[in-house]
Chain A
């Protein structure tokens, strides 16, 4: 069934969009991430203009993360103080990111930039995740206990604060910087940033795994809301109908994914997610290095 997307100004198959939403929602329920990093490239792949794909992807991520956040909040797995610090950085970052996006769009480099960002970020995160989970799987066999977290230069920074839920007494600078970086990427890539935030919280900030998912969802929801708002204001590329179709499939898929996720072990899940992230990065890289079929492209003059 074809449906006309009013902002993308094109028609697309509604069932395909709901199906993509379902698939991405299923994976995000399984891995506990928003799934924006899969969604935006998929949308671009089926011919949605990248500006619309990025903005609507952020909007969809917001919806997909809300239900997860509610569930985590009920279980008391959200460190609101840490989330607040991350968010303060994230809001600034997303503001900067949307400016960058608008600039890239004016000079006609948005497609390349979005792809490049994906390749670099997903490539790095994917490699780190696969390596870490491989090590964890090995370690499990050898059954060696590791320390809660290591102490290094970061712990000497000023502005220390106590984060009770995370059982941490650290400077607010690292979380704010992490939030800022994720905010920028979120605006440019149309992702919530959960797949980057979760490892950053575990390895950079040293938070306990129990509160990581809930707190990252907290940050993702508000940053995605901010990105949606800014993109709608500045670029005008949020397609509400597209978002709703994706969410329709997404919320259903997420429930199935979450149910299945409880049966998988943490390390294996992370390894799978890492491989998937690497796969997306590789396919986008191929798109950048492959000689294009048509050297010329057409775009609206801004």
Chain B
């Protein structure tokens, strides 16, 4: 926390030290608490703090801040269960969505739809209903709605789950919760400064979610050398079984 405080103070102080010119060139400065989220075997989720300062006052009547976090994209399939033979529920029609972010969070001093015109919001993909998702397969809009609902339920898609807090008129920060199921990869954070219903300034930041330690080694070997991994699994399980029987026979 002290590290954060120092960072905040430095951010706030730097334009002053650098002189008036720098302050005019940067209406917005922002940073992240972590550039690397480490997923170890003890990982139960993490909080990412996005914070920064603006040149002009933010808050009611002034500028507004929007923070968007986007995770790596992957294709997903949404399936709908149907009843067959009058009794069984099995997966029926499906829709395949490409480019679905594995994590998406948007937060603002106020919800995006309140501070930006609809067209602007859609163009920039600000909000769950503005995500550019293209699908193949089943046509029904229910599939898109279901995707949104399921991702929200899993805690991987967040819309205005937290608000961007304002401190001392020019400081802002927001805590973005990353659940334990957060996918690994490169993440992009976009901080937007909205002035009179237009995006006035933006800053892009990046961070990575990486597996580390045992979890990383297991996943890497399993992916890169599945044969070695399979043999190791077989041998370790056999050894554990044998060792257990020896241990408990003595005891």
Contact = CB atoms under 8 A, between A and B. Distances in A.
Q: Do A and B bind each other?
A: yes
Interface of A: 2-4, 6-7, 9-11, 59-60, 62-68, 70-71, 108-109, 111-112, 116, 221, 225, 228-233, 236, 238-241, 243-244, 247-248, 250-252, 254-255, 288-292, 294-301
Given A7-B219, A109-B90, A298 B234 contact: no
13 contacts: A4-B43, A4-B215, A11-B45, A62-B241, A70-B245, A228-B230, A239-B218, A240-B232, A247-B240, A251-B241, A251-B247, A299-B77, A301-B76
Contacts of B161: none
Which 3 residue pairs of A and B lie closest in terms of their CB atoms, listed nearest first?
A251-B244, A67-B245, A232-B230
Nearest to B223: A236
Q: Of B96, B154, B180, B214, which is in contact with the most chain A CB atoms at under 10 Å from its CB?
A: B180
A240 B215 CA distance: 10
A247 B244 contact: yes
Given A108-B94, A240-B233, A296 B241 contact: no
A292 B90 contact: no
Contacts, number: 193
Interface string B227-251: 1011111101110111111011100
A221 B43 CA distance: 33
Interface string B141-163: 01100110111001000000000
Interface of B: 39-45, 74-81, 87-91, 94, 96-98, 142-143, 146-147, 149-151, 154, 180-181, 183, 211, 214-216, 218-219, 222-223, 226-227, 229-234, 236-238, 240-245, 247-249
Given A4-B215, A252-B244, A296 B143 contact: yes
B113 to A, nearest CB: 25
Contacts of A247: 237, 240-241, 244
A62 B98 CA distance: 38
B248 A10 contact: no
Given A6-B216, A240-B236, A291-B89, A255 B248 contact: yes
A62 B91 contact: no
Contact of B233 (A68, A221, A238, A250): A238
A236 B74 CA distance: 18
B36 to A, nearest CB: 16
Nearest to A25: B244
B214 A241 contact: yes
B222 A300 contact: no
B230 A251 contact: no
Nearest to B86: A289
A263 to B, nearest CB: 18
